């Protein structure tokens, strides 16, 4: 992919993702959605002969910034192999987990969905999960217990699975994909975020977390290919924000700088077999 130039911000806003995912499924966007990432919709429509998709499986690995992807390009092979379409995004400010996921799944800016700092209240505005329910679709969230994604989209009439940590989340997601009972599955992992906050973005622990994210995405992708053969499925891999190291100390995020704000998402389409 094209290399990031120093101090250049991506232009495509993360608030366009929810509208794009809904367009790919042929349903109305959440009510406060501020745009549509049209390139992603075009990719999906082309890959499905304009049919769109009836399943979306989203893997959300926390805190992988674009520069980390570029620096450790070879360590992200499973992301690229299984989801070859790369979509650059500018995440929302401040680049904190609940702020970013709030915008990712409402299509709304932080001032509109209400989370503007590191806090985890239930979002009261319309979300993609509400939009899916109105269209008669079944969404679910599989997340690490206590994480932002285990809290901010709660209190909807939908299924939630909160597990001890990343591996348990992925195990549960594999089981859920096998059963094929949901139209839209969000799967959240956090090891890289934990590792870089405890150490720094390029530490051995952080690199091990990248490796495990890739292994987990590979497992999820393989299960999609095996179990969702009766569907057109969009498989996505979407981090929330990036990361930087503060004065050779710990890893952090929350600043309006390209390292924190620029992210890449990966998408792949798996068409039905019959």
Determine, following the binding rule CB under 5 A, whether residue 60 of this chain makes contact with Zn ion.
Answer: no
Distance (Å, rounded) from C-alpha 98 to C-alpha 149? 7
Q: Which of 23, 63, 169, 237 binds Zn ion (CB under 5 A)?
A: 63
Nearer to Zn ion, 63 or 234 (CB): 63
Instruction: For the segment 139-158, give every residue that binds Zn ion (CB under 5 A).
Output: none
Query: How near is the Cβ of 65 to Zn ion at its closest, in Å?
Result: 10
Q: Smaller CB distance to Zn ion: residue 66 or 233?
A: 66
Instruction: Pick from 62, 130, 163, 191 the residue near Zn ion by CB under 5 A.
Output: 62
- Determine if 173 is a binding residue for Zn ion (CB under 5 A): no
The residue among 63 and 176 lying less far from Zn ion, judged by its C-beta, is 63
Shortest spacing between CB 240 and Zn ion, in angstroms: 4
CB of 104 to Zn ion, least distance (A): 11
Q: What's the min distance (Å) between Cβ of 60 and Zn ion?
A: 9
**With respect to Zn ion, which residue has the nearer C-beta, 62 or 183?**
62
| Residue at shortest CB range from Zn ion | 97
Closer residue to Zn ion (CB): 52 or 95 = 95
Q: With binding defined as CB under 5 A, does residue 97 bind Zn ion?
A: yes
CB atoms within 10 A of CB 135: 13
- Residues of this chain that bind Zn ion (CB under 5 A): 62-63, 97, 193, 240
């Amino acid at each position: 992919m094209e290399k990031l130039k120093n101090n250049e911000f991506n232009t495509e806003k993360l608030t366009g993702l929810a509208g794009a995912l809904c367009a790919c499924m042929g349903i109305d966007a959440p009510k406060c959605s501020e745009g549509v990432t049209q390139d992603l919709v075009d990719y999906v429509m082309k890959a499905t002969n304009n049919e769109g998709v009836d399943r979306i499986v989203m893997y959300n690995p926390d805190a992988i910034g674009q520069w980390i992807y570029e620096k450790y390009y070879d360590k992200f092979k499973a992301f690229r192999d299984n989801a070859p379409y790369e979509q650059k995004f500018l995440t929302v400010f401040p680049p904190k987990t609940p702020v970013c996921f709030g915008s990712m799944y409402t299509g709304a800016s932080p001032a509109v969905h209400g989370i503007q700092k590191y806090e985890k209240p239930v979002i009261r505005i319309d979300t993609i999960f509400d939009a899916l329910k109105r269209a008669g679709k079944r969404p679910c969230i599989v997340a690490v217990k206590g994480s932002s994604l285990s809290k901010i989209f709660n209190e909807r009439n939908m299924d939630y699975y909160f597990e001890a940590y990343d591996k348990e989340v992925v195990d549960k997601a594999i089981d859920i994909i096998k059963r094929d009972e949901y139209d839209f599955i969000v799967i959240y992992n956090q090891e890289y975020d934990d590792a870089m906050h405890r150490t720094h973005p390029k530490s051995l622990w952080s690199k091990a977390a990248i490796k495990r994210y890739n292994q987990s995405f590979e497992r999820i992708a393989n299960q999609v290919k095996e179990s969702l053969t009766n569907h057109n499925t969009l498989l996505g891999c979407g981090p929330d924000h990036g990361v930087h190291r503060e004065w050779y100390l710990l890893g952090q995020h929350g600043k309006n700088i390209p390292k924190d704000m620029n992210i890449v998402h990966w998408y792949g389409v798996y068409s039905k077999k019959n």
